[in-house]
């Protein structure tokens, strides 16, 4: 914890059946900036890592439990107000009440307000921009779980492709050791497409992975896959479509399966994050087994849209014309949320606002070699979460500081420079620019 920082705990009850608990960390040396924080997964956990991080950069920082305690979905069962807190209201209360606390403590109001979150926190930041654009001047929203209802359905379908909820005796199940075979073949086919073989696929959307290359031949008993497993892979590496062929959700990024965390979706069971959402928020059936899970279940979840959680509206008018700024980033090896989803959101906003470029107010940075929110073999630290990610205290190397420069000085971030675990750096490009290898380094080209 940063020395000389006041910690303040508060509890708000927006409705009789709901309550939001939050902490404000207030640094001794304050530069007039307010920072609200997001959450992860189904978390009802205050983000202490980023409370520490925010105050280390002299932000008055507030994080909440998102309206419930714990990291499961039990609190959502038949509780519409708790769902509303989780979906959008807790972050709004962070902003409203947090700013009141800040003003009371420092004796003056804040100058500028910012938001920092990734994954579910990225979705919260996006929802905040859509529903309460006046809450934050600048939002940093990483790997956002937007299009949430179809994301949940897509993730459940990934498990179902290989036998979930119970893979016992299912010919399509792919055990962990065979995922290593799949990952190696994906790299063999696609790693060199960017001009350098470094274990990183710069543009997964250009990887047309052909799993048939590792189909077992007669007499081969290891290091290969059966026709049933190959068929499952072909389904995994294609988008989710509706019954009439309509696009619902982006495909799994080739290359992301190389991370061990990919087993969240490919273990042969339905991940608790997905299971709890359907059991407690969508179906109100704690005993639901997923044996009959189908596209109909997914469409029901989208129709119900619990807590208005979908976060798929492309109308960013109040951000675009209100002088506010939005920065998002997404790893191209994200084993949880495919990076194509962030491209879809960008293009959705462009279509909705009839804007070919969103550069004036919205920037998406795609990060080759990065897993979900952080980590991976690439240059994946750029100030996005926790003190450890702030390798260099400079806006070129830190997305939060880049947002401050954009909001307060009008200096828009053209690129973000990431740093890897071995000290290597790489320039990350804003969409729709491309990261291009020139024989010695990567640069950004339109």
- Which residues are designated catalytic? 119, 334, 372
Dist CA 412 CA 45 (whole Å)? 33
Dist CA 178 CA 221 (whole Å)? 12
> How many other C-beta atoms lie within 10 A of the C-beta of residue 414?
14
CB 259, CB 249: distance < 8 Å: no
Dist CA 297 CA 153 (whole Å)? 8
Q: Note if the bond before 165 is cis, omega within 30 degrees.
A: yes
The tokens describing 313, both together, are 């509206």
CB 143, CB 120: distance < 8 Å: no
The tokens describing 164, both together, are 């979930």
Q: Phi/psi at 171 (nearest 5 deg)?
A: -65, -20
Q: Is 247 helix (H, G, I), strand (E, B) or coil?
A: strand
CA nearest to 366, candidates 313, 420, 419, 415: 415
CB 39, CB 117: distance < 8 Å: yes
The tokens describing 446, both together, are 């339109």
Q: At what angle do helices 295-304 and 148-161 cross, to 10 degrees?
A: 160
CB 183, CB 193: distance < 8 Å: no
CB 77, CB 42: distance < 8 Å: no
In eight-state DSSP terms, residue 191 is: G
Q: Phi/psi at 275 (nearest 5 deg)?
A: -60, -45
Dist CA 429 CA 413 (whole Å)? 10
């Amino acid at each position: 914890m940063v020395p000389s920082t006041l910690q303040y705990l508060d509890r708000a009850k927006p409705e009789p059946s709901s309550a939001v608990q939050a902490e404000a960390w207030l640094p001794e040396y304050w530069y007039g900036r307010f920072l609200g924080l997001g959450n992860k997964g189904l978390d009802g956990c205050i983000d202490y890592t980023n409370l520490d991080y925010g105050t280390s950069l002299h932000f008055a920082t507030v994080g909440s439990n998102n309206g419930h305690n714990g990291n499961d979905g039990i609190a959502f069962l038949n509780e519409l107000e708790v769902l509303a807190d989780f979906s959008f209201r807790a972050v709004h209360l962070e902003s409203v009440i947090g700013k009141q606390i800040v003003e009371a403590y420092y004796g003056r109001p804040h100058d500028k307000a910012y938001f920092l979150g990734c994954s579910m926190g990225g979705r919260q930041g996006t929802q905040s921009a859509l529903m309460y654009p006046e809450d934050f001047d600048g939002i940093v929203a990483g790997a956002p779980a937007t299009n949430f209802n179809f994301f949940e359905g897509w993730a459940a379908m990934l498990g179902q492709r290989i036998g979930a909820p119970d893979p016992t005796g299912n010919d399509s199940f792919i055990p962990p050791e065979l995922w290593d075979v799949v990952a190696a073949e994906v790299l063999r086919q696609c790693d060199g497409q960017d001009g350098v073989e470094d274990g990183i696929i710069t543009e997964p959307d250009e990887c047309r992975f052909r799993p048939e290359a590792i189909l077992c031949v007669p007499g081969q008993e290891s290091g290969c896959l059966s026709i049933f497993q190959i068929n499952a892979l072909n389904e995994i590496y294609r988008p989710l479509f509706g019954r009439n062929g309509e696009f619902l959700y982006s495909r799994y990024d080739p290359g992301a399966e190389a991370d061990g965390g990919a087993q969240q979706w490919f273990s042969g069971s339905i991940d608790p994050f997905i299971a709890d959402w359907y059991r407690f928020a969508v179906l109100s059936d704690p005993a639901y087994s997923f044996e009959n899970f189908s596209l109909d279940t997914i469409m029901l979840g989208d129709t119900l849209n619990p807590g208005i959680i979908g976060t798929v509206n492309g109308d960013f008018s109040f951000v675009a014309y209100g002088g506010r700024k939005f920065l998002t980033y997404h790893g191209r090896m994200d084993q949880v949320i495919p990076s194509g989803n962030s491209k879809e959101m960008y293009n959705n906003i462009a279509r909705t606002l009839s804007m070919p470029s969103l550069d004036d107010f919205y920037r998406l940075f795609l990060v080759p070699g990065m897993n979900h929110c952080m980590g991976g073999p690439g240059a994946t630290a750029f100030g996005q979460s926790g003190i450890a990610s702030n390798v260099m205290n400079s806006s070129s190397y830190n997305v939060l500081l880049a947002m401050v420069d954009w909001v307060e000085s009008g200096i828009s971030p053209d690129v973000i420079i990431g740093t890897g675990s071995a000290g290597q750096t790489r320039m990350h490009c804003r969409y729709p620019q491309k990261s291009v290898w020139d024989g010695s380094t990567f640069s950004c080209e339109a």
